[in-house]
Each structure stands twice: as C-alpha cells, then as structure tokens.
C-alpha cells in the first residue's frame, strides 16, 4: 500500500511538472538543448492566405523538427484549402520572401478525398518550408513579421494566418534585439510604443499568428531558462498591439540545431536592468529640405479611403512634426500624397490628395495653423514612384505614402504651381 502511494505521488509530481512547464529545458549531457512542452489543443480552421515564417538560424532549433510535429501538420492541413495562397519568408539579418505557393482547385467529391487533398498539399507546404535557410548573419524577427503582414494585407480575403517557426531570439533591428541589455526586464508595452514611434509595427489586423519553438534555443546560444514567459509576453504584446491574435503551439522533441552558414551573436540571459529609452533627436529645419517619406507602415489608411486605420498611431508619428512647426513659426510644410500602381487616374490622384489633407487636418488639430500647410496629390506620377510593384504585392506599400518637404525649399517650387 505504501509503495502504491509513493508511485502515485511520483506520477502526480511528474504531471504537475509537465503541466506547469512551458520552457525549453537544457540537457546538460548534450551540446544542444532538449525541449519538453505541454501538448495543447490546436484550433483548426480553413485559410485563404498563409505566411510561413522560418527562422533557420544557428540560435534556433531545426525548423523541420517543429514542421513535422503532428499538431503543426494538422494545422497546416486545415489551412490548405483550394485556392488558398502561401508565402514563405526566411528570417535572418536580411529577412526575405523566398517563395510563394497557391493550392489549386480541387475536384474532390467526398470528405475523404477532401482530407486526402489537404494532407497532400500540407506536405507540399511543409516540404518547401523545410528547405528554407538563413541568408545573412544575425536575426531580424521584426522585419520578417512586417513583410508577412504586408503580404497578407494585400490579400482581400478573410482567414489570414502566420506560422512563425523558430526561437524568436532577435539580434538585429535596434530596439527589438535581445542583445540590448534589459530587453527582457522592460515592460513589453513600453518597447512596443517605442517601435511604433521610431519604426513601425507589423500590419496584423485580423491575422492570427501562431508561434512554434518560441524561446527554444540551441548552443552556443544559452537556454532562455526562466525568461521564457517574458519572451512570450513580448511577442504576444507585439502581435496584439499590431491588430493580430497571438497563439502558441507546444510540442515534444529533442534538440537539434538549424543548419546555417551564417553567424548569430549569442545573447546573455537574464538581464536585470530594464532598457532606458533616450529621447528622440529633435527635428531640425534642414531635415525637410529633402523629401521625408511617411510610409504606409508608419501611418496606415483604410483601403481606398483617406481614413486612418489607427488614429492614435498616426498621432504618435505626427505629433513631433506638429511640435516642431509650432516652435518654428517661420517653417511652412508641403504634403504630397501618392498611391500604388503604375497607371494614374483621377481616382488615384484624388485619393492621394485626400490622404495628404488627412495628414494636414491632423497637424492642424495638434495646433499648427492651417495656412502654413500646403497639400498636393500626385497619384502614381510622383518622382519617387517605383515602377513595376503593382497594387497587390507587399512591396507596393512603398508607393503608398505622404511626402513631407519644406514649402520654401527649391524642390518644393517644382510642385507648388500644381496646387489649386
């Protein structure tokens, strides 16, 4: 009886450890890490557009170990519906789109054939993802998520997903790098606010982002240990404040490193002190003697509309400009709106002008006199236009912008006569 009670106690303690453990566990007898995770139910659902983001870097476990897990296979199978589209992005110091794939129409006539088709195409997607390798030194996870979000944004449909495979331990992109002392100890919302002000957040409105392998490192990168929850919270805050839904997949696997020819700076955990954010550089008049771009990634507009997607985010970007103009009464500003696409039309010209006027109205609401701001819409015939990007590609966002330039600069005189 006593032995039976002892066995039950051991079983209960073991279960408790499994249920409460969400972190990678280092195997002291191995040069690699070994991982032990809870298996949780994974919500399934069809997808119209999928971004597979793969971090095959030397500070992350081999992505194929995750891609071949049953939960992930089932998840991708549920997404692999006819005519769904997929993009593959490699995460490294130069995160890039490496491939795209479209699931063809299906002639399946019953549920079994439908299931077989989905399994077949899911394996095709996993095969492509498994071949992704790093293409540069270091790891820039933020740029990878921005590119995934931009690609999904161009898909005019519902059911959009991102599957991020990798440790998420970023070593590049200034404010979003774990090589910054104290990143783990800093309140995530403070980091996200700084990213929103100084750079840009991913456009993830309506996107569900799944992470697999988050925090799972391999040597020479040391294990994250008790910092796992802080890493998860940071990415969860990033996704939610970018408009998305955060999900995480747990699995059971043994440690194996990703095969990479590129180096990654090891990160030390933990760091006791939070980051101290320095104030932004003051705006100077000479900054506007040359065109300054407010891109779609900084100030976002609703599609085919001059209304902001996020007015609060727009205020964050535009407030320093308003402060400078109020403090510098002699400075006048020209705002030039532009649009994507290579064929100009009255509609695109009017839309670009309306968006420039929206930015003007925001600056006026912040206290800048209206008569010191001029606006102009050039549609797609602006001198900064990049041809061949179309209107639906993620790169097309480069052509949707509002350009700021001193109204008294030589360049501005080229445009001013067009203002009615």
- Residue for token digits 């002892």? 6
Give me the CATH code for the 285-416 domain, please: 3.30.1330.60
- Residue for token digits 């910092």? 227
pTM of the model: 0.62
Give me the CATH code for the 22-249 domain, please: 3.40.50
- Residue for token digits 């700076």? 265
Q: Is the dihedral of CA 400, 405, 411, 414 positive or negative?
A: positive
Q: Any idea how long the chain is?
A: 420
Nearest in space to 139 (alpha carbons), one of 17, 56, 258: 56
What are the Cα distances from residue 249, in Å, to 86, 102, 170?
20, 25, 19
Q: By three-state DSSP, how is residue 209 classified?
A: strand
What pLDDT sits at residue 142? 92
**What is the rounded average pLDDT of the residues 123-134?**
93
User: How far apart, in whole angstroms, are the C-alpha atoms of residue 83 and residue 338?
Assistant: 32
Q: pLDDT tens digit string along 168-222?
A: 999 887 778 888 867 787 888 888 887 877 656 888 988 999 999 888 888 788 8
Cα R_g (the chain), whole angstroms: 25
CA 149 to chain CA centroid, nearest Å: 6
Q: pLDDT tens digit string along 367-387?
A: 999 999 999 888 888 887 777
For the chain, how many helices (H) and strands (E)?
10, 12
Q: Please check the confidence at residue 420 and state whether its pLDDT lies above 50.
A: no
Q: Please check the confidence at residue 323 and state whether its pLDDT lies above 80.
A: yes
Contact in structure between 130 and 116 (CB atoms under 8 Å): no
Q: Where are the domains of the chain?
A: 22-249, 285-416
Percent of the chain predicted with pLDDT > 70:
77
What pLDDT sits at residue 56? 92
Please, what is the Cα angle at 218 between 213 and 223, to 5 degrees? 85
Cβ-based neighbour number of residue 76 at 10 Å: 27
What are the Cα distances from residue 419, in Å, to 109, 339, 373?
61, 18, 12
User: How far apart, in whole angstroms, are the C-alpha atoms of residue 87 and residue 89?
Assistant: 7
User: How far apart, in whole angstroms, are the C-alpha atoms of residue 14 and residue 242?
Assistant: 38
DSSP 45-106: ---SEEEEEE--STTSB-HHHHHTSHHHHHHHHHH--TT-EEEEEE-STT-EEEEEEEPPP-
Contact in structure between 385 and 340 (CB atoms under 8 Å): no
For residue 352, the surrounding DSSP H or E stretch is helix 346-365
Q: pLDDT tens digit string along 68-105?
A: 888 888 889 888 888 889 999 999 988 889 999 899 88
For residue 164, the surrounding DSSP H or E stretch is strand 160-165
| DSSP for residue 274 | P
What are the Cα distances from residue 254, in Å, to 27, 36, 37, 52?
9, 8, 11, 22
Structure tokens at 291: 């065109």
- Residue for token digits 């399934």? 44
**What is the rounded average pLDDT of the residues 225-248?**
88
What pLDDT sits at residue 413? 76
Select the more confidently predicted residue: 348 or 342.
348
Q: Please check the confidence at residue 156 and state whether its pLDDT lies above 80.
A: no
């Amino acid at each position: 009886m006593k032995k039976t009670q002892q066995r039950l106690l051991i079983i209960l303690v073991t279960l408790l450890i499994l249920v409460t453990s969400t972190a990678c566990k280092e195997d002291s007898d191995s040069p690699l890490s070994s991982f032990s995770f809870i298996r949780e139910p994974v919500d399934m659902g069809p997808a119209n557009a999928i971004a597979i983001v793969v971090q095959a870097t030397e500070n992350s476990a081999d992505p194929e170990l995750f891609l071949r897990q049953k939960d992930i296979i089932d998840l991708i199978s549920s997404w692999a519906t006819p005519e769904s589209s997929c993009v593959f992005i490699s995460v490294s110091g130069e995160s890039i789109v490496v491939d795209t794939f479209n699931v063809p129409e299906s002639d399946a006539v019953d549920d079994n054939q439908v299931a077989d088709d989905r399994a077949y195409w899911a394996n095709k997607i996993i095969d492509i993802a498994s071949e992704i390798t790093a293409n540069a030194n270091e790891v820039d996870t933020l740029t990878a998520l921005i590119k995934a979000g931009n690609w999904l944004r161009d898909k005019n449909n519902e059911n959009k997903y991102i599957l991020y495979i990798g440790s998420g331990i970023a070593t590049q992109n200034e404010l979003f790098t774990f090589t910054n002392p104290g990143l783990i100890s800093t309140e995530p919302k403070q980091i996200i606010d700084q990213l929103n002000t100084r750079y840009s957040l991913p456009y993830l409105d309506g996107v569900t982002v799944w992470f697999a392998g988050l925090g799972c490192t391999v040597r020479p990168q040391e294990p994250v240990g008790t910092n796992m929850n802080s890493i998860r919270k940071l990415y969860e805050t990033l996704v939610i404040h970018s408009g998305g839904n955060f999900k995480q997949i747990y699995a059971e696997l043994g440690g194996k490193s990703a095969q990479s020819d590129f180096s990654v700076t090891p990160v030390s955990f933990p760091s006791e002190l939070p980051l101290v954010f320095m104030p932004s550089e003051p705006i100077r008049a000479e900054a506007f003697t040359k065109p300054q771009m407010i891109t779609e990634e900084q100030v976002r507009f609703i599609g085919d509309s001059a209304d902001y997607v996020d007015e609060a985010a727009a205020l964050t970007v535009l407030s320093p400009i308003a402060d400078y103009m109020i403090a510098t009464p002699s400075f006048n500003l020209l705002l030039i709106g532009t649009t994507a696409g290579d064929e100009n039309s009255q509609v695109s010209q009017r839309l670009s002008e309306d968006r420039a006027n929206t930015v003007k109205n925001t600056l006026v609401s912040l206290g800048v006199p209206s008569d010191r701001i001029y606006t102009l819409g050039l549609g797609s015939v602006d001198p900064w236009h990049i041809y061949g990007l179309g209107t639906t590609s993620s790169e097309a966002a480069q052509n949707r912008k509002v350009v700021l330039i001193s109204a008294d600069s030589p360049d501005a005189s080229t445009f001013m006569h067009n203002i009615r």
